[in-house]
Amino acid sequence: MGPQKPWISVVVRTLLGFPLAGVLGALGMALASALAVFFGVAALPKILTMLMVGAGVGAGIGAGITLLRVDSIPAWPILLGAGLALSAVSFGGAWVGFQIGGYITAIEEARCVGVCPYLFKPRTYIALGAALVPNIIALLFNIGYEGVFGRFARARHARPDGTLGHSNGTGSGNDSARAAGNSS
């Protein structure tokens, strides 16, 4: 068996996290739109805030799912804290996406004067911003966690025989047990 490639899991989780966060962000925006219609919200700033919160919660959950590892799931307070933090960061990303989307839409309107179709609708920029920012945070967290505590660190300490841990030089899988006097 060849050497471990722990970075592959981080890359795959990131590549799967962006579409998942985008879809869940769009679903959050759809739910926010439905709630705005149901409760009769007519003020544009309130509707935009609801859209950004819906996109933030959905994309934060999507990015939080990609932080989970199959081999170790943290306790629920850690999951809840990470989900709330990613949702807050995602709300900020939705706001930035809305600001950038307004700027891009203004440029497109100035060039085409209402004749050309838009590249994206303004809602799309909200969903893109809400999905991009928490996934960048999740990627940085994954790289830091895997590098310091996880598989990257264990791969650096792997012995030539493929087992993990410190070796006393004999090359057997139970070097640490033999060093402690507990040979099997």
Tokens of 32: 């926010």
- pLDDT in the model for residue 23: 92
Average pLDDT per consecutive 10 residues, the chain (184 residues; last block may be shorter): 62 85 92 92 89 92 80 76 89 92 81 70 87 89 72 56 54 49 50
Which pTM value belongs to this model?
A: 0.70
Q: Give the Cα separation of 7 and 134 in Å (integer).
A: 19
**Predicted local distance difference test score (pLDDT) of residue 1:** 45
